[in-house]
Structure 1
Amino acid sequence: MPTYYVASDIGGTFTDTVVIDQDGNVGRYKSSTVPDNPAEGVLDTLVDAAQERGVDLEELLGQVEVFAHGTTIATNAMLEGRARRVGLIQTRGFGDTLTIMRGFKSIGLDEEDIKRFRTLVKQPTAVPRAMTEEVTERVDYAGRVVCPLDEDDVRRAVRALRDRGAEVIAVALLWSFANDEHERRVAEIVAEEAPELGVTLSSEFLPRIGEYERTLTTAVNASLRPVLKTSLDSFENTLTRAGLRSGPLLMQSNGGLATFSEVEKRAAATVMSGPVGGVIASQFLGTRSGHRNVVTTDMGGTSFDVGLVLDGLPVMSNTTLIGRDELALPSVAVRAIGAGAGSIASVRNGVLQVGPESAGARPGPACYGRGGERPTVADADLVLGYLNPENFLGGRLTLDVERARTAIETHVARPAGLSVEAAAEGIKTIVDSRMADLVRQVTVEQGYDPTDFAVFAYGGAGPLHAFSYGAELGCPQIIVPITASVHSAFGIGCSDLTMVEEISQPMQTPPGTTDHAGALPPETLDATFDELAARATRDLVAAGADKDSISLVRSVEIRFRAQIHVLTVTLDTGAGALTAADVNGMVERFVEQYEGRFGKGAAFLEGGVEITTFRVVATSPVPRAELTAVADHSAVAGGSAATRPVFSGGTWRDATVLRGDQLHDGMTIDGLAIVELADTTVVIGPDQDAVVDGAGDLVIQTRA
């Protein structure tokens, strides 16, 4: 019996699925997302996969060894206000922690909103002040109990929060990461007073320094856990009834997979579940093709996401930005703006604007014929001639050119005094420029030269627009992988089981220290790392991992004393005991990273350094097939090319049009050209050419 490895990614507009068989052949499938029942969209793609293989759905699912999944459940619940109502318990005197906040009023806003200074205000608090209760207790920085927990005060607080409508309880006491005794007792009292309320303890979920970040993240996690659990249970039950025998895995923001039962405890760690898959896929394919520095660009129906792969590894962030809140959870660094194929174009005060509002899956762009009347980027692409109305989603959806023209004429061309074609090209130019600006923010503004990177372009619309925004950046190559339309799903299928454990145990060196290992004893660091490694290993084994297959990566968050912001430094000694040289080398790498970001000479070792947080990332490989046949065309493909008029540069010109089955390994395509694959459209600009490589990827370059 054949064995299959399946990964799916539910986006705002489309649901993508890849099915890889035991011989390494990759099948790619798309369907419209069903917002009210996300599993339905996944099943639609699996039905297509089963039909392609001549079996029924139950037979296909019965042969699946690994099913990995990416979801926007937690993200949407938070952004759309569907998370559960949280009651927050804090140390007396610190109930205003979330109200005071930390950060800038501009966090999470796009450029247009930042410019509106009169309406630039702080974001709403994650938990209203009325839903916060203070209790009498105090533990000091060393974990010593200064003031015992007043249990009667806790009972009063729990009853008050329950009476005000709390659906879940979050507990974030001031120094609980140093001593969790009081938080554990609060959880016991909640179970006695209001057993129907779920509890999230900061000391269990996020035992790290920084009361605002820890409180915010704990509260968000508490609000999302019931939502994620309900959805995941429904998703798993639906797939099980359809024939799936293996328990599905879920993608986390850190780029690793976890079991549904484990990830439910860490719901906030899934808010970037879908977007990070594309970065992991780009890392995987980039390493195969020799590209170790990659800019990842994902243009879907709703957003445009950008990440980086440096020297073969995805760039990580110590925090996760969701909406206007910055959660203290490590994640693959992905920046996003509201610029997708479904982004709505409008004229405001005589100025053409595109996004961030999106038409989504329902009703979608006007050309979908599902009731949408406002023009989108997809409508502009169709009017300009880049899209074939008969070959969208492999011909399963016929696009309506007249509806697209009418929408653009009514809402953009006429108000702006332009022709329909000029208005459509204006829409495309604006969205391409916004995307190029975001890539510059991720590269140039972080000290990287875009010309040192290859651009990976994927998502449903990325291959169509990359010829423009990629060339604007001056990147030497734009790579459209054969998996482009389902790239994030493919990356989810390339990921490993991952568990992250961390704890804050601040350690400092005195000012002027040169022998850092003397103030940061290696054996003390080892003891903390060993404790975290044991916990991470235990959880991975419980998830089904082979203990001998688990690898560990240790890192610290470190800063100069008296500073706020930290950098993460990885120790490259595996699981072996640390030496004094390792510790001194760790500080040297911190200084190197610090000066790389803030400028040569910016480091201030005379002031001493401080380790704030220890982290261990444990991974175990998930069974997968070796990819041997990603492309869907052969070396003997061929056939004459067609042409189609395209409006480009203010005029109509003929573009060469090729189908996927006309491509072959080593083939060169001169632009202006359009390649119509079964699930996406690739455009090669008029001053560019493209080469088809052995994996079926299209490598676009500017002509010399």
Structure 2
Amino acid sequence: MDHLINIDNGGTLTDICVWDGTDFTFTKTLTTPFDLSQCLFDGIAKVSENVFGGRDLERLLHRTRHIRYSTTQGTNALVERKGPSLGLIVDDASVVADLRATEQERGLFDDLVGLRVAVVDPGTGDEELSAQLVAQVNKLTTDGAARIVVAVGDADGEAERRVRGILLRCFPRHLLGSVPFLYSWEFATDRVPARRIWSGLLNSFLHPVMERFLYNAEDRLRRHRVRNPLLIYRNDGASSRVAKSVALKTYSSGPRGGLEGTRALATAYGLEHVLMVDVGGTTTDVGSVKQARIATDRRGAVEGVRISFPMSDVHSSGIGGSSIIQVRDGDIQVGPESVGAAPGPACFGFGGTSATITDVNLLLGVLDPATYLDGDFALDAERSRAVITETVAEPLGIGLDEALVRMEAAYFARMAESFGALVEESTTLAAFGGAGPMSACGAARLTGVRRVLIPRLAAVFSAFGIGFSDIGRTYEVTLTTPSADAAVDAHDALADRAERDMFQEGYELVGCRPEWTLVTEDGDGAVVAETPYRPGDVPTVGSGEHAVLRLAVTAELPHGTVPTAAQPPASPAVPSGNRKVRSGATQVGDVPVYPLAEQRPGAIAAGPAIVEGPFFTTRVLDGWTFEVTAGGDLLLTDITSTPA
């Protein structure tokens, strides 16, 4: 069969995972923030060496059915506030107070919109409304608005359609193209105004950041005469073409891939509750899978601000492999600032002058500079030693060795904070990402978690998880009249839209899987009931409630699997050698090193130990044991009776 390529673009490293229908091939490459399409093609070219035995970008591209792509760039742009200045047109000044109701909302609104708010009266005649709109749009653009969101009138969108018609008549096309308008009811059918408007504002902010890169990537693919389009992986777990993707739905899409992979692990191993702990270069993303179900919010949140679309319930903390560890007010602080891919940790040799956990683990002996990233990347221990001495040891008045131990302990504690509140008695920690396996045991012990699962694809696990996605579209329409006829009319309109959209995705609707649902919501948009819908059904709503008809259409793609064979009998793991690893200010010991790829399923050993997988290193602390599962994953168990 044709190959499927999954790419997870992070702030420091970009992960590439290729599936040929049977096996996975994967690699990592440095993210190129100056041109994200560069690391995309660098990564595909690099992984082609593993697929074919020699670098052949063209051959792999032309044997690929789809490229599914997830990126943190939208998330990072919002965190760093790197996007266009927004303007907002409303019909009631009090709406702004609703949008700024919480501290998080106030901060985000002031950063994205500020004072660029215009108030118009849609109840006036066309001539007067035209004059108001012309004056207010001119003022907003003069004040710096590069994109404008229109949110006027009732939930039926009638007033906004009228405003759109007037703007199209009053302004030349080239002006409307250079300052795009988004109409809130066209973008989201949510009846709660604040959520609908916030969705429009956030999408308008994220869109240009995503647009420039994604269309550039598509252009480069066309120059290679690639048959099939680039697909964007979304935070609802499905994928779609660039032209059919919504920028807001790319926010936190990478963690959703990790959650899909975590669900596959939970199902394969029969685990009741698994916490995903994905430690990347800049952030740690935490999500929950319980009874093989991904925790999802009907109305998601972005930086604590509620939006109109569903999102997986993922919590992000500013701690990662590239998080800066520094001394503030006499204490060691980890993150949230990150050195990213450029300049990166000091040991990368790109000019970094801040200490990170990567530098710490190099000097502790956990990382081997000869095998880091499978030997593709040289680490400079002297740079790490100089930076940690200058920025941590000397300010605290302690020696380098004690500084390393205290920095690692601070990192364990900070990582434990990111997931500790979600721990239950049956919790298993699924730790992955480049930095997760190194610190999982230390953080888990602090929270009382006794079992940690490290996937064999831990270094590229979110990219692996993207492989469980299909091409999909979801539509919703609020039924203003809860009758059978209104529902049928909405059904037919959504079916027509789905047929057009899926055809543009390259699939006939008759070959797709549709799921029709009637959702009953209360006045705040909370779900009261969900039932399957068939034409002719009569929506049932109570006082203050309304009905929403939802259509989810899926074109299924081949999926990878997690092996579920019975666990073989236990046998001793075989080390390849020893490494001197520091575990205390005065304690340095020879610790056995176990290459994961060389261990048979059923292999077991006790810590302290180092297990080296492809592109990742696991530190097994004293008091822990590890076992290689039938699927080649690493299951660690804390055999101590009480938390350390």
Partner of 1:125: helix, strand, or coil? helix
| Partner Cα separation in structure 2 for residue 161 and residue 203 of structure 1 | 21
Report the Cα offset of residue 315 of structure 1.
Answer: 1.0
1:663 and 2:599 aligned:
yes
Superposed CA deviations along residues 264-287 of structure 1, whole A, max 9, x for unmatched, are xx2122111222211112112322
| Partner Cα separation in structure 1 for residue 488 and residue 265 of structure 2 | 35
Specify the code of the residue in structure 2 equivalent to 1:483: L
Q: 1:293 aligns with which of 265, 268, 273?
A: 273
Q: 1:369 aligns with which of 343, 349, 361?
A: 349
| Partner Cα separation in structure 2 for residue 332 and residue 189 of structure 1 | 41
Specify the code of the residue in structure 2 equivalent to 1:223: F
| Partner Cα separation in structure 1 for residue 310 and residue 198 of structure 2 | 15
Report the Cα offset of residue 181 of structure 1.
Answer: 3.5
> Which residues of 2 match residues 58-137 of structure 1 at below 5 A?
58-91=58-91, 93-94=92-93, 97-98=95-96, 101-105=99-103, 107=104, 122-125=107-110, 127-128=112-113, 130-137=115-122
1:38 and 2:18 aligned:
no
Residues 3 and 65 in structure 2, CA contact (< 8 A), matched pair in contact too = yes
Structure 1 residues 618 and 186, CA gap change in structure 2 (3 angstroms): farther
Q: 1:252 aligns with which of 234, 245, 256?
A: 234
- Show the counterpart of 2:639: 703
Q: 2:137 aligns with which of 152, 158, 163?
A: 158
| Partner Cα separation in structure 2 for residue 489 and residue 102 of structure 1 | 36
- Show the counterpart of 1:623: 557
1:467 and 2:466 aligned:
no
Superposed CA deviations along residues 658-679 of structure 1, whole A, max 9, x for unmatched, are 1133211111122111111221
Superposed CA deviations along residues 206-243 of structure 1, whole A, max 9, x for unmatched, are 12122222222212222332332221110112233345
Report the Cα offset of residue 6 of structure 1.
Answer: 0.3
> Which residues of 2 match residues 404-419 of structure 1 at below 5 A?
404-419=384-399
Partner of 1:379: helix, strand, or coil? helix
Q: Which moved more, 1:382-391 or 1:325-334?
A: 325-334
1:493 and 2:471 aligned:
no
| Partner Cα separation in structure 2 for residue 325 and residue 479 of structure 1 | 32
- Show the counterpart of 1:48: 46
Specify the code of the residue in structure 2 equivalent to 1:86: L
Residues 174 and 211 in structure 1, CA contact (< 8 A), matched pair in contact too = no
| Partner Cα separation in structure 2 for residue 703 and residue 342 of structure 1 | 31
Specify the code of the residue in structure 1 equivalent to 2:232: L
Superposed CA deviations along residues 677-697 of structure 1, whole A, max 9, x for unmatched, are 221111222111111112211
| Partner Cα separation in structure 1 for residue 401 and residue 169 of structure 2 | 67
| Partner Cα separation in structure 1 for residue 23 and residue 218 of structure 2 | 26
- Show the counterpart of 1:228: 210
Structure 1 residues 98 and 383, CA gap change in structure 2 (3 angstroms): farther
- Show the counterpart of 1:517: none
Superposed CA deviations along residues 627-665 of structure 1, whole A, max 9, x for unmatched, are 48899xx99998543222222255323322111332111
Report the Cα offset of residue 59 of structure 1.
Answer: 0.8
Report the Cα offset of residue 364 of structure 1.
Answer: 0.7
Q: 2:624 aligns with which of 674, 680, 688?
A: 688
Report the Cα offset of residue 495 of structure 1.
Answer: 0.8
Report the Cα offset of residue 90 of structure 1.
Answer: 1.6
| Partner Cα separation in structure 1 for residue 226 and residue 572 of structure 2 | 37
Residues 374 and 411 in structure 1, CA contact (< 8 A), matched pair in contact too = yes
Residues 533 and 616 in structure 1, CA contact (< 8 A), matched pair in contact too = no
Specify the code of the residue in structure 1 equivalent to 2:132: D
> Which residues of 2 match residues 532-571 of structure 1 at below 5 A?
532=494, 535-536=497-498, 538-547=500-509, 548-552=511-515, 554=517, 556=519, 558-559=521-522, 567-568=526-527, 571=530
Report the Cα offset of residue 543 of structure 1.
Answer: 2.1
Report the Cα offset of residue 328 of structure 1.
Answer: 3.1
| Partner Cα separation in structure 1 for residue 500 and residue 256 of structure 2 | 25
Residues 16 and 42 in structure 1, CA contact (< 8 A), matched pair in contact too = no
Superposed CA deviations along residues 573-604 of structure 1, whole A, max 9, x for unmatched, are 36576589xx69xxxxxxxxxxxxxxxxxxxx
- Show the counterpart of 1:643: 578
Q: Which moved more, 1:178-187 or 1:325-334?
A: 178-187
Specify the code of the residue in structure 2 equivalent to 1:156: A
Partner of 1:274: helix, strand, or coil? helix
Partner of 1:50: helix, strand, or coil? helix
| Partner Cα separation in structure 2 for residue 610 and residue 434 of structure 1 | 44
Specify the code of the residue in structure 1 equivalent to 2:635: V
Q: Which moved more, 1:532-541 or 1:494-503?
A: 532-541
- Show the counterpart of 2:180: 198
Report the Cα offset of residue 57 of structure 1.
Answer: 0.8
> Which residues of 2 match residues 236-247 of structure 1 at below 5 A?
236-242=218-224, 244-247=226-229
Partner of 2:67: helix, strand, or coil? strand
Structure 1 unaligned blocks of 5 or more: 109-120, 139-144, 444-448, 508-519, 585-607
| Partner Cα separation in structure 2 for residue 187 and residue 27 of structure 1 | 52
Residues 609 and 620 in structure 2, CA contact (< 8 A), matched pair in contact too = yes
Q: Which moved more, 1:640-649 or 1:25-34?
A: 640-649
Partner of 1:225: helix, strand, or coil? helix
Structure 1 residues 220 and 64, CA gap change in structure 2 (3 angstroms): same
Report the Cα offset of residue 388 of structure 1.
Answer: 1.1
Partner of 2:409: helix, strand, or coil? helix
Specify the code of the residue in structure 1 equivalent to 2:34: D
Report the Cα offset of residue 537 of structure 1.
Answer: 5.6
> Which residues of 2 match residues 196-595 of structure 1 at below 5 A?
196=177, 197-242=179-224, 244-263=226-245, 266-323=246-303, 325-441=305-421, 443=422, 450-504=424-478, 532=494, 535-536=497-498, 538-547=500-509, 548-552=511-515, 554=517, 556=519, 558-559=521-522, 567-568=526-527, 571=530, 573=532
- What's the % identity of the aligned pairs? 27
Structure 1 residues 181 and 47, CA gap change in structure 2 (3 angstroms): closer
Report the Cα offset of residue 338 of structure 1.
Answer: 0.5
1:20 and 2:5 aligned:
no
Q: 1:673 aligns with which of 597, 606, 609?
A: 609
| Partner Cα separation in structure 2 for residue 84 and residue 694 of structure 1 | 50
Partner of 2:532: helix, strand, or coil? coil
Partner of 2:110: helix, strand, or coil? coil
Report the Cα offset of residue 536 of structure 1.
Answer: 4.6
Coordinate RMSD, CA, aligned: 3.2
Report the Cα offset of residue 618 of structure 1.
Answer: 1.1
Specify the code of the residue in structure 2 equivalent to 1:182: R
Report the Cα offset of residue 357 of structure 1.
Answer: 0.5
Residues 457 and 614 in structure 2, CA contact (< 8 A), matched pair in contact too = no
Report the Cα offset of residue 479 of structure 1.
Answer: 1.0
| Partner Cα separation in structure 2 for residue 609 and residue 645 of structure 1 | 70
| Partner Cα separation in structure 1 for residue 529 and residue 444 of structure 2 | 32
Superposed CA deviations along residues 298-349 of structure 1, whole A, max 9, x for unmatched, are 0011000001112212111244444464433321111001000111111111
Specify the code of the residue in structure 2 equivalent to 1:234: N
Number of positions where the alignment pairs a residue of Structure 1 with one of Structure 2 = 630
| Partner Cα separation in structure 2 for residue 214 and residue 233 of structure 1 | 27
Residues 692 and 698 in structure 1, CA contact (< 8 A), matched pair in contact too = yes
- Show the counterpart of 1:170: 149
TM-score between both structures, scaled by the size of structure 1: 0.82
| Partner Cα separation in structure 2 for residue 239 and residue 637 of structure 1 | 48
| Partner Cα separation in structure 1 for residue 207 and residue 226 of structure 2 | 24
Residues 498 and 617 in structure 1, CA contact (< 8 A), matched pair in contact too = no
Structure 2 unaligned blocks of 5 or more: none
Specify the code of the residue in structure 1 equivalent to 2:515: L
| Partner Cα separation in structure 1 for residue 556 and residue 600 of structure 2 | 32
